[in-house]
Structure 1
Amino acid sequence: MRKGLRDLVGGVGDGEPSSSSKRKNVYPPIEAFWLPPAEAAPVEAKGSRGLSSKLLQPLKFRRSSEKRRSLKMAMEGKHDPKEEEAVDALREMLFLDCQLPPKFNDYHTLLRFLRMRDFDRPAAKEMFLKFIKWREEFRTDAISKEFKFEEREEVKKCYPHGFHGVDRYGRPIYIERLGMVDLNTLLQVTTLERFVKYHVSEQEKTLSIRYPACSIQAKKHIASTTSILDVGGVGMANFSKPARYLFTEIQKIDSNYYPETLHQLFIINAGSGFKILWKALSAFLDARTLAKIHVFGHNYVQELRVIIDPSNLPSFLGGNCVCSEYGGCLSSDRGPWNNPDILALLQVISSADEACDYDEEESGLASEDAWLDNRKIQALEEALAETKTKIEALETALEDTKVILREVTQYIDDLRT
C-alpha cells in the first residue's frame, strides 16, 4: 500500500499523527455485511397462486415484478446471522415495552443503533427510545413533509454545501466549504433554528430517498455517506458563539438520532489555524466518529481520487465536474436520487412496501393481542401448576398426619388395656 493511502486509512495528511489514533472499537463499513445475496431459485410460497395462474399474467408484468423483487433483495442485502440475532433481541425488548413504531421496525434501522452502542442491547434500547422521543418533540415527521426552506439558494451563497455524485462504492458524497462561510450574512438570510430544521429535513431525505436511490443504482445496500469538508482559511476566528451552537447542535443530532450514517469524513486544506481549532472541536465528537475522520493539508487530490472517480469530483477539489448548467456543483444536487427512472422505480417499491407494512401492521395488532392472550394463559397455567403442587404437598402432609393419629390412637388403646 502506498504511503498516501496508508495516511488516508489511519492518519493525518502530510505525515502528522491523527488526533483519533487512540484504540477504539471500529467496525467495518456499515454496508459490509449487506452485500447482495447469492441468487437462488424462487420458492413457491404456501398458499400462493400456482404456475398456471402466473403464466396467465402478461409477460411484461411478470418481468417487472421479478425486477422489483431482484432490486429489493439487492437493496436489502445479506444479513449477518449474529447481527440479526442481536436485532431480533432488541426488537423484542422494544416490542415488550410497546415502544416499536412500525416505521422503525426494520433490520437496518435497529442495527444502526446496536452498532453505535457496540451491541450493548440495553444501551441501544435506551438510545432508540430517546430517538423516538426526540422525533415526537422536534416534530420530525412534520418537518420532512411540511418544512419549506425558501432561502436555500441564498444560504448556499454564504454557506457553500451540498450533495454531489457518488463515491466508487456508490455512497452519496456530501461537501461543505467552511472556509467560504459568511456567518453574518447567513444570520441575515435565515435563523440558526431554521438552519437546524433544514439540516434535519436533508437527513430525512437522505435516509428515505438518497440511500435507496443509490442502492438501486449500485445494486447493493447503501446506508452511509462519504463527506468532504474544505477548511481552507478556517481558524479560531471562525469559531464564534453562533458557530459553536450550530456545530454542537448538528453534531448532537447526527450522532444521537442518525447514528452510523457517516462512512468517512475527509477534512482537506487544513492549515495551522484549523489544526489548533481541531483540538477544541474534536472534544465534542465521540470516539467512533473520530475514527472515521481523516485530516489532510493541501496534498489531498490523489487521496480523494482513490475513493471518488474524477467525474464525480468537483473541479475545485481536483475533479473533472463543473455542473455549469446548475450554477456550480454544490447547487446541482447531482446524483441517482434525481434520476427520473430510479425515482419512478423507487416509488413503485415504496408503494408496495407501504401496502405490505399496512398488512403487517394490521396482522401485527392481531398478533400483539394474541401474544398478550397467550401470556395471560401461560401465567394462569403456571399459577395452576404451582397450586397443584401445593395441593399435592398438603395431601401428602394430611396422609402423614393420619398415620400419626392412628399410631397415637393405638398407643392410647394399649395403655388402657
Structure 2
Amino acid sequence: VMLDNESLPPRSPSKSSISTMEPTSDNEAESPMTVQQNDSQNNPEPMMSDGISEPLPYHVLSILQALPGHHGCLQQQEAQTLKDLRSAVLAWEGKEKYIDCLAMTDEHEENLLLRFLRARGFDKDKALKMLQHDVDWRSQIGLASMCKQPAEEILGCDPAKIDRYIPLKHIGYDKQGRPVIANHLGGKSVIAEMLDTCTSLEQLIRYHVWMQESFCRLLTQQSQKLGVKVEQIVVIMDTKGFYLGLFNRRSQEFLQRIAEVDSNHYPERLGLLVVANASPLISMAWRGIGKLLDERTRQKIHFTSSPQAAGKVLLEHIEADMLPKEYGGSAPCLDLQ
C-alpha cells in the first residue's frame, strides 16, 4: 500500500527503543525484560526493552488488545518465546544492524518482535530467520539513504505520472486512529504501459518500499499524538472497471513483487482491507486465493460488489465525516477513477 506524498510525515532522526545490554544467563541477575505475573488476569505482563517504558496500550476499540500474541494479552509461553527471541537477536553477529533498524523506525522493540513472531506462528527460529533477513535486506538496499531521497529520484519520473495509473490517497483516520488509504485498481491500472512510459519495475518496487517507510513514520506519528499503539492501516481498494486484460505477465510480476516485500518486511501492518465494486471475476479469484490464507488474515479482508455494500463495512470503523460520499459518508468524493 502506498501513500500520496502530501500526507507523509517528514523523516526525522530518533532514539532507539532498545538497549545494547547483553542478555543474561539463567544464573545471572534477572533481566528487565523478565515477565512478571499479573494476578488479576493470570497472564504475564509484557516484556519491556531494558530501561525503556512499557509499550503503549492499544486503543479501547481495538480487538488486538484481547487477542493472544499481542501486548497486554501474552500467554506464558508466548512471553517466554518473546524473551528467547530477543536473547537470540542480541547474540546475533548482526546485532548492531538490528539496533540501527530500531533507531530508524522508532518502533518499540517489543512491538517489532511480536509482529515477526505472529507472522511466523510464534516459532522462535522462523521468526529469527525472518527478522535477520529483514535486517540484512534493509542494509543491502541502503534503506536509510533511500528514505532521504525525494520520490522523483526513486522513480526517475514525476510521481504524478504513477498516480495516473495507480491513483491513491490518504483520506484520514478511522475510529482507532489508524490511517485510511484509498486506492483504485481498475480501468486505469495498465501496469505494462506505466512501465514502458514512466519508470522501471525495479524503480517502482523501490518507490513502494519508500512509501511503506513513510507510512510507518505516519503510524509512529499517530501513536505519539494519541498516546495509544497504532500499528496497522485500513485500506479501501476500488476495483471498478477492472477487466481480465489488465492482469498480464508484467502486472502479475509487479503485484507479486510488492506482495513479497510487504509479507517479508512489513508483517502485521494490515488492519482492514475493503474491496469495493468487486466483479464476479475478482470474487471468484478471491475464493481460491482466500483458501491459502490463515483465518486471521481472511477476517481482515472484505469483498463487496458495490460502494453501498462497502460503506456498510467501512462505517463500522470510520466516522461518516471522514468517509467519502460514494461509500455512504459525508466527506468529498475521491474521484480516483
Q: Normalised by the shorter chain, which TM-score bucket?
A: 0.5 to 0.7
The aligned runs of 1:258-337 (5 Å cut-off) are 258-279=266-287, 282=290, 288-298=296-306, 299-322=309-332
Q: Return the letter of the residue paired with 1:132.
A: V
In structure 2, what is the equivalent of residue 31 of structure 1? none
C-alpha deviation, 1:165, in angstroms: 0.5
Q: CA deviation digits over 1:120-150, x for unaligned, max 9?
A: 1111111111111222233222221225335
Write the distance in 1 (CA, Å) between the matches of 2:227 and 2:121: 28
- C-alpha separation between the residues in 1 aligned to 2:295 and 2:313? 23
Aligned-residue offset at 1:80: 4.4
Q: Does 2:166 align with 1:166?
A: no
Letter in 2 for 1:233: G
Displacement, 1:296?
Answer: 1.2
Partner secondary structure for residue 118 of structure 1: coil
Instruction: Name the structure 2 match of 1:237.
Output: 245
Change (3 A) 1:289 1:194: farther
For 2:139, give the aligned amino acid. Answer: E
Deviations 1:155-181 (A, max 9, x none): 112211132201111111112211143
- Alignment partner, residue 145 of structure 1: 148
When structure 1 is superposed on structure 2, of 126-135 and 284-293 the one drifting more is: 284-293
**2:91 corresponding residue in structure 1:** 96
Partner of 1:194: 203
Give the distance between the partners of 1:144 and 1:271, measured in 2 at CA: 37
Map of 2:114 onto structure 1: 111
**Matches of 1:221 and 1:329, distance apart in 2:** 32
Shift of 1:154: 1.9
Q: 8 Å contact 2:187–2:243 — kept in the other structure?
A: no
Question: Which runs of structure 2 are paired with 1:6-155 in the superposition (5 Å)?
Answer: 75=56, 79-80=72-73, 82=76, 83-100=78-95, 101-104=98-101, 106-149=109-152, 150-155=157-162
Q: Which amino acid aligns with 1:309?
A: E
Structure 1 residues 74 and 256: alpha-carbon distance in aligned structure 2, compared to 1, 3 A threshold:
closer
Kindly indicate whether the alpha-carbon contact (under 8 Å) linking 2:239 and 2:275 is maintained by their aligned counterparts in 1.
Answer: yes
- 1:175 corresponds, among 179, 182, 189, to 182
Contact 2:275 2:310 in 1 (8 A): no
Which sits farther off after the overlay, 279-288 or 102-111?
279-288
Question: Taking structure 1 as reference, are residues 126 and 287 closer, same or farther at Cα in structure 2, changes over 3 Å only?
Answer: farther
Structure 2: gaps spanning 5 or more residues: 1-51, 59-70, 103-108
Tell me the secondary structure at the aligned position of residue 146 of structure 1. coil
Provide, for residues 187-209 of structure 1, a one-character-per-residue CA deviation record: whole Å limited to 9, x for no partner: 212222222111101111121x2
Distance 1:104 1:86, change over 3 A: farther
Cα distance in 1, alignment partners of residues 159 and 279 from structure 2: 29
Is contact 2:168–2:182 with CA below 8 Å preserved after alignment? Answer: yes
Matches within 5 A, 1:328-367: none
One-letter code aligned to 2:212:
Q
Once residues 198 and 330 of structure 2 are traced to their aligned partners in structure 1, the CA distance between those partners, rounded to angstroms, is: 32
The residue aligned with 2:8 is: none
Measured in 1, the distance between the counterparts of 2:289 and 2:141 equals: 25
CA distance in 1, matches of 2:138, 2:297: 22
Instruction: Give the structure, 1 or 2, with the largest relative contact order (CA under 8 Å, sep 6 or more).
Output: 1
1:203 and 2:212 correspond: yes
Q: How many residues align?
A: 255
Does the C-alpha gap of structure 1 residues 281 and 196 become closer, same or farther in structure 2, counting only changes over 3 Å? farther
Provide the secondary structure at the position in 2 that maps to 1:221.
Answer: coil
Query: Which of residues 227, 239, 244 in structure 2 aligns to 1:219?
Result: 227
Distance (whole Å) between structure 2 residues aligned to residue 213 and residue 329 of structure 1? 27
Cα gap change, 1:245 to 1:140, in 2 (>3 Å): same
Answering whether residue 259 of structure 2 is matched by residue 251 of structure 1, we say: yes
Shift of 1:267: 1.2
- Give distance in 2, aligned partners of 1:120 and 1:292: 22
Q: Distance in 1 between matches of 2:180 and 2:249?
A: 29
RMSD over equivalenced CA pairs, Å: 2.7
Residue identity matched to 1:174: I
The structure-2 alpha-carbon separation of the partners of 1:76 and 1:169, relative to structure 1 and needing over 3 Å to count, comes to: closer
Give 1:292 deviation, angstroms: 2.1
Question: What's the CA shift for 1:285?
Answer: 5.7
Change (3 A) 1:162 1:73: farther
Contact 2:186/2:242 (CA < 8 Å) preserved in 1?
yes
1:271, distance to aligned residue in structure 2 (A): 1.4
C-alpha deviation, 1:116, in angstroms? 0.7
Compare 91-100 and 244-253 and name the one that shifted more.
91-100
Contact 1:321 1:329 in 2 (8 A): no
C-alpha separation between the residues in 1 aligned to 2:72 and 2:317? 25
Answer whether contact 1:236 1:274 (CA < 8 A) is retained: no
